[in-house]
Chains A and B, each alone.
Chain A
Amino acid sequence: MGQTNILLMEGIKKYFGGVRALDGVHFELNTGEIHALVGENGAGKTTLMNVLLGSSIKDAGRIVFKGKEINFKSPADALASGISMIHQEIRLIQQVSVAENIWLGREKKFSKFKVIRYKLRLEATRALLKELGLEQIDPLKRVNDLSVAQMQLVELARAVSYDSDIIIMDEPTSALTTTEIEQLYKIVRNLSKKGTAVIFISHKLDEILSLCDKVTVMRDGHTISTFPCGEVTQPELIRLIVGRNIDNAYVKSARAAENTGEPVLEVKNLCRTGVFEDISFSVRPGEVLGFSGLMGAGRSEIMRAIFGIDAHTSGTIIMNGKTLGISKPRDAVLAGMAMVTEDRLRMGVLHSLPVLFNTTIAAFKSFCTMLGLIKTQREMQAFRDIVESISVKYHSPYQKANQLSGGNQQKIVIARWLLCKPDLLILDEPTRGIDVGAKSEIYKLIDQLAQEGMAIILVSSDMPEILGLADRVIVIRNGRIVYECLHEEANQETIMSHAFYG
């Protein structure tokens, strides 16, 4: 149909330290093509786009755009050359109007002697919105008065207003309702008719297959394959997205099905309006319960609510047979819970504090007299014992925690909770951003703790991790439990298909 190649990326490599984020990626895009990019969390989609836009610098490979080899220095540079991107998170200035947001940085267009002529800008905005069929958005409204969906559509309008040759959309439909999604599809199809190429990143396979022309699957920093959308089915895509072999890094001792004991934690109909709904499950002593699902499905939010970091709207949390009124983490800790949060920097490590202080903070009361005086020797002994037992590498107890590697920081946070001797340990993405060695040590630890009778909840986006460690798996999608199975029945295809489309 007279389509010509507009973008070619070949042999793209990108390393973060020793981790290969991209390992020889090949990606082609034609004018007027709607091209989907799919893959698991961490497959390298975002990194690839960052490399294209110049916000990350590639370590190898070349990018050819409109017949010329390019190396953008920044997203602004890319934008000026004709590639714009709509990000997953809203990047508008909340306090100013829609019109100001759309033309931000391009006021010159409407200016005379450096004075902005508001009327011209307003007209241009009206024309743009009308062209896109978004007349319902008032260009004079302040952005924070819009709904999230409308904000996303304004982002779209802004990206279109640059008349770019390529528009990248990262999960553009995540906050939209059905009618708005239809509107977005229409806009995307019109763009494509005019010759604009669209890179469409999404987890929703049904929408990809109905909207896009081609789909490229990424996995572990590689592009696995590219198909025309008519020639592939959803189950085939899922198999390609997950298709890797589970290696033997996962230790799971044959724990006798002791699932007869009284549950340590029981959660009944837990709700947080708009985030998750009707969550009910229980964990027994010595059991590893895995929570799987896509990023943003609501797993971390559920755990944070159980632990009292976030509030919940309704539901019951029962710990060791007692109903708890949890409103802050302290309540959960006193009830015998412990939680290693996903956000290690913000909620885990006490950055500038000594390793010692970091390790003993949660169980600190047990190293103090009744009057709150510190038993220094007891504290040091407990510290040395625990860090040795989980082999943390450090120079001195007074070394600052932020000087440790990510893996050792994570171990310190885990050690902090082990000193509390909890009945239930919640681990939210415990191995994210951690090197392979530390990972397998943490796996061993999880197995060992379960054997000693601790109940463990493991939230992970890493499929082999869940399959390798969990006695039971719960899949969350859009804030609801959509699937549950035992270790023996668990396989990646079923779990992934439930995670993707319930």
Chain B
Amino acid sequence: MENSKRNALSVARIESLLLNNKALLITIVLGAILSFSTPVFLTQTNILNVLRQVCVSTIVAVGFSLLLGSGNIDLSVGSILGLVGIIMGELMLLKVPTPLLIIIGILSGIACGLINSAMIITFTLPPFIVTLATSQIFRGIGYVITNMGPILGFPDDFLFWGQGYIGPIPTPIYIMAFITLLLYFIVNYTAFGRYAIAMGGNMEATRVSGVNVNAVRYGVYAVLGGCAGVAGLITTARVGSSQVAAGVGMEMDAIAAVVIGGTSMSGGNCKIFGSLLGCVIVGMVNNALNLLSIGSTWQVIVKGIMILFAVLLDSVTTKLYAQREKRV
């Protein structure tokens, strides 16, 4: 009897471990399948390649996790990313030195986030609609500034942020690691992070508890804006030019990765490493399609299927979780 009790306990523990870390599980299973089926997968070059490809989406996704966790949404991140790239391009044409240009670029990303939240808070509008509108506006400003053409001619010290290496590892991977750790720290070890998650759990109750929810809201949008700014830097430096279409659809990639990573769409929890793994999963699948010589046209369909899969997974595990809790 002792034994069966212990077994039941460990089964429950394994269940909850799996439900809590489904992204890690998927990563391991997918990684194992890929290493067996395509020998190239496990080489150092290929792994670094995958990681470099997911840098931009990961940086946006970790910022997005905090935002979704706080019960908000931002459909304009892709446009912010694009706009930041263009602002950096214009500053470069004005011969602004690179460090200053990068700082202004990221600050303008933060400013975009603050504009979004200011609109939402001041006029009490739904975030979905506000950011849908600003995504058009931010994108449109980029079109107007550039007249739809790319901006070329970045200096090497700028390109370093997208194309350079420190040791054997590409620079963007360091930036990704830094931003991910930073967000993990914010969420788990700062009052601001805690308030954000509380707000996602129950905004009214958080307000009644004496939390300045408006300030927190400004904060989460600013953080995401900053992340979009950094992502804009890497994207621009990687391709070596400001592109008007940079970051199109980025918000959807981010949402997909965040949900795969276990953060709830309705707020109240936030899994930063989960979002990182979510991006890695998407990256691995794309990589596999490349290795199997399946064209990039198919990748779009596969991405769509993965988003569906992610949402399905979210709802199924939530139900499983609820059932499990009933048993306890």
Interfacial residues, chain B to chain A (CB-CB below 8 A) = 188-192, 194-195, 197-198, 201-202, 204-212, 264, 268-269, 325, 328
Contacts and interface: CB of A to CB of B under 8 A. Distances in A.
Contacts of A351: 201-202, 268
Contacts of A339: 208
Contacts of B189: 373-374, 376
Given A330-B210, A341-B208, A352 B201 contact: yes
Contacts of A341: 208
A333 B212 CA distance: 11
Contact of B201 (A347, A353, A362, A416): A353
A357 B205 contact: no
Contact of A330 (B188, B197, B212): B212
Return the 6 tightest CB-CB contacts between A and B, nearest first: A333-B210, A350-B201, A352-B268, A362-B209, A353-B201, A372-B191
Most chain A CB within a 10 A radius of its CB, from B194, B195, B268: B194
B191 A368 contact: yes
Given A346-B202, A403-B328, 13 more contacts: A329-B209, A333-B210, A341-B208, A348-B205, A350-B201, A350-B206, A365-B191, A373-B190, A374-B190, A374-B194, A395-B328, A403-B325, A416-B209
Given A357-B198, A361-B206, A362-B210, A350 B191 contact: no
A492 to B, nearest CB: 32
A238 to B, nearest CB: 36
Contact of A357 (B190, B197, B207, B210): B197
A347 B204 contact: yes
A328 interface: yes
Most chain A beta-carbon contacts within 10 A, residue among B198, B204, B209: B209
B192 to A, nearest CB: 6
Nearest to B210: A333
Contacts of B202: 346-347, 349-351, 353
Contacts of B201: 350-353, 357
Contact of A372 (B190, B204, B209, B211): B190
Interface in A400-456: 400, 403, 416, 420
19 contacts: A329-B209, A330-B212, A333-B209, A348-B208, A350-B198, A350-B268, A352-B268, A353-B197, A357-B194, A361-B195, A364-B211, A365-B191, A368-B191, A372-B192, A373-B189, A373-B191, A374-B188, A374-B194, A395-B328
Interface of A: 307, 309, 328-330, 332-334, 339, 341, 346-353, 357, 361-362, 364-365, 368, 372-374, 376, 395, 400, 403, 416, 420
Interface of A is mostly: mixed
Contact of A364 (B194, B264, B269, B325): B194
Given A364-B191, A373-B189, A353 B209 contact: no
Nearest to A339: B208
A347 B208 contact: yes
A419 B52 CA distance: 47
B322 to A, nearest CB: 10
A347 B211 CA distance: 13
Nearest to B266: A352
Given A352-B268, A353-B268, A374 B211 contact: no
A328 B201 CA distance: 20
B209 to A, nearest CB: 4
Contacts of A346: 202, 204-205
Contacts of B328: 395, 403
A368 B186 CA distance: 13
B191 A374 contact: yes
Nearest to B214: A328
Contacts of A403: 325, 328
Contacts of B211: 330, 361, 364
Contact of B269 (A309, A352, A362, A416): A352
Contacts of A361: 194-195, 198, 206, 209, 211
